[in-house]
Every structure is written in C-alpha cells, then in structure tokens.
C-alpha cells in the first residue's frame, strides 16, 4: 500500500504542477524559427496550417488524453477543454481537412522527439526546458 501511495504521489504533484505555471511552446534548436505569436501557435495546433510561417513543415506533438497539462494548454490557447478539442479534431479529420497532432506518452518522449525532428513543435512546462529545445512562445495563465 505504501508503494502505491509513493508511486501516485509524483503523478499527483505533476498534475497539480501545471496549474498556475508557465507552459512554453518549443521547437528543436535546429529549427530556424525563433519566435511565434499566439495566433501562429493556434494556426498550427488547430490544423489550419501544416507549416510554420516560413513555409517549412510543422508537426505538432500532443500529450496523451486526460493529461492536466494538455487540458491547461488548450484552455489557455483557445479557451477549449479536452472534450471540445476532441470533437473539433473529429470534424477536421473526417472532413478530410487535417490530421490531429501526434500523441506522446510523456514529456521525456516529447523532448526525445524534438531532438530528432526539426519540424516538430510541442508544449511543455517551463520548468522542463532543456538545452536541446528553443522556446518560441510562452503561454502565461489567463
């Protein structure tokens, strides 16, 4: 029982931690983009464009379902919770317009993916930024 409590604790702390802290949008260091506006982040994450403003391919990464960080990111970005985002992507996918962002299981997986892909773009907690990524937009709490 003690083991279960100990294993739940980090998850609980992580889930609480995204409230009230910075969420940053990051790309690979190799990406030539140095900054994005909120509107440009919305364009990419809501499937309006499949490229960065400079015309190069943009491949957004998402966190798995029911992640607190994912929910906070979309609330701050477009004021929509995960339920609305899921319905939105069903509309875009099955109307043939766009494919949803690729889903990643953890922040570590996102950071690994960003190291390998110049076109990837992701959101992570500000505290998780490493030398291998570049912050292009900062989502402060609304």
Number of H helices and E strands in the chain, helices first, is 5, 5
Q: Which is nearer to other proteins, 54 or 131 (CB)?
A: 54
Residues 38-97 that bind other proteins (CB under 8 A): 39, 43, 48-51, 53, 55, 57, 65-66, 79, 81-84, 86-87, 90-91, 93-97
Q: How many Å separate Cα 62 from the centre of its chain?
A: 5
Q: Does 118 bind other proteins (CB under 8 A)?
A: no
Reported residue count of the chain is 142
Q: Which of 126, 138, 117, 142 is nearest to 61 (CA)?
A: 117
Q: Does 116 bind other proteins (CB under 8 A)?
A: no
42 and 77 in contact (C-beta within 8 Å)? yes
Q: Does 142 bind other proteins (CB under 8 A)?
A: no
Report the interface residues with other proteins, using CB under 8 A. 39, 43, 48-51, 53, 55, 57, 65-66, 79, 81-84, 86-87, 90-91, 93-97, 99
């Amino acid at each position: 029982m003690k083991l279960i409590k100990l294993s739940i604790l980090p998850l609980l702390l992580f889930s609480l931690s995204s409230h009230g802290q910075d969420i940053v949008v990051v790309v690979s260091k190799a990406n030539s983009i140095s900054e994005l506006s909120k509107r440009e982040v919305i364009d990419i994450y809501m499937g309006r464009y499949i490229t960065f403003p400079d015309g190069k391919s943009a491949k957004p990464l998402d966190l798995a379902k029911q992640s607190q960080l994912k929910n906070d990111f979309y609330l701050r970005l477009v004021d929509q919770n995960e339920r609305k985002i899921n319905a939105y992507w069903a509309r875009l996918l099955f109307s043939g317009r766009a494919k949803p962002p690729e889903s990643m299981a953890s922040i570590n997986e996102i950071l690994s993916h960003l190291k390998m892909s110049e076109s990837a773009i992701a959101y992570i907690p500000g505290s998780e930024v490493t030398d291998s990524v570049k912050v292009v937009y900062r989502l402060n709490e609304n």
